[in-house]
């Protein structure tokens, strides 16, 4: 995961590439934001469940596969981005997240079943509340799970990403901060909800 983070560094530092960058041919046409989001999910699970998850491209054309090297279990992912708002545009982050989920869900059960949907939130549309969004998810959901990831803040010392699972079956939707050190050599994961 450390090598992957170093490879992601230029794309994280240049946030524009995360929004508009072209697919990487050598990585199954994955986009930099898909690679980053899969990395964020892996390091989060590795920290909270003491696992050894990695990710790879998807040979059947999805947006990557998360792999448990110990058990061999895999989770195919599909990604959707909520892009940055244009100057003068206003929108509610919760509505944008739900619209992005519905956009992918509308492709049907054959497309969604067994996959993890990852929403990459770039909107800058303000505060949103994971429990409230989780309560508004469509039924049937079709996807096995839905995660929302997005940059919360950049300061002189680190990049802080939110990683949130839209599952309230255990009470609150699990939410985490992934803090990436300024030299992109270290990261920490902390549960915030």
- Residue range(s) defining the domain that contains residue 33: 2-191
Residue 121, pLDDT > 90, answer: yes
pLDDT at 24: 83
Residue 60, pLDDT > 90, answer: no
Task: Report the predicted TM-score, pTM, of the whole model to 2 decimal places.
Answer: 0.94
Return d(Cα 131, Cα 96) in angstroms, integer: 15
Domain count of the fold of the chain: 1
Q: Dihedral, CA atoms, 53, 117, 159, 125, nearest 10 degrees?
A: -170
Instruction: List pLDDT tens digits, range 13-56.
Output: 888 888 888 878 777 788 999 999 999 999 999 999 999 999 99
Q: Which residue has the higher pLDDT, 16 or 146?
A: 146
């Amino acid at each position: 995961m450390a090598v992957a983070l170093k490879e992601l560094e230029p794309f994280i530092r240049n946030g524009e590439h995360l929004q508009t960058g072209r697919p990487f041919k050598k990585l199954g046409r994955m986009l930099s934001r898909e690679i980053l989001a899969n990395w964020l999910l892996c390091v989060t699970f590795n920290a909270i469940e003491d696992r050894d998850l990695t990710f790879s491209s998807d040979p059947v054309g999805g947006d990557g596969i998360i792999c448990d090297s110990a058990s061999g279990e895999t989770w195919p992912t599909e990604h959707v981005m909520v892009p940055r708002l244009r100057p003068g545009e206003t929108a509610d982050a919760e509505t944008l997240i739900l619209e992005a989920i519905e956009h992918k869900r509308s492709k049907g059960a054959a497309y969604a079943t067994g996959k993890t949907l990852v929403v990459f939130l770039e909107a800058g549309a303000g505060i949103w509340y994971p429990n409230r969004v989780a309560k508004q998810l469509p039924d049937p959901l079709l996807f096995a799970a839905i995660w929302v990831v997005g940059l919360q803040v950049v300061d002189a010392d680190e990049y802080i990403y939110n990683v949130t699972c839209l599952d309230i079956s255990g009470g609150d939707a699990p939410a985490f901060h992934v803090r990436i050190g300024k030299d992109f050599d270290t990261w920490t994961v902390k549960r915030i909800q």
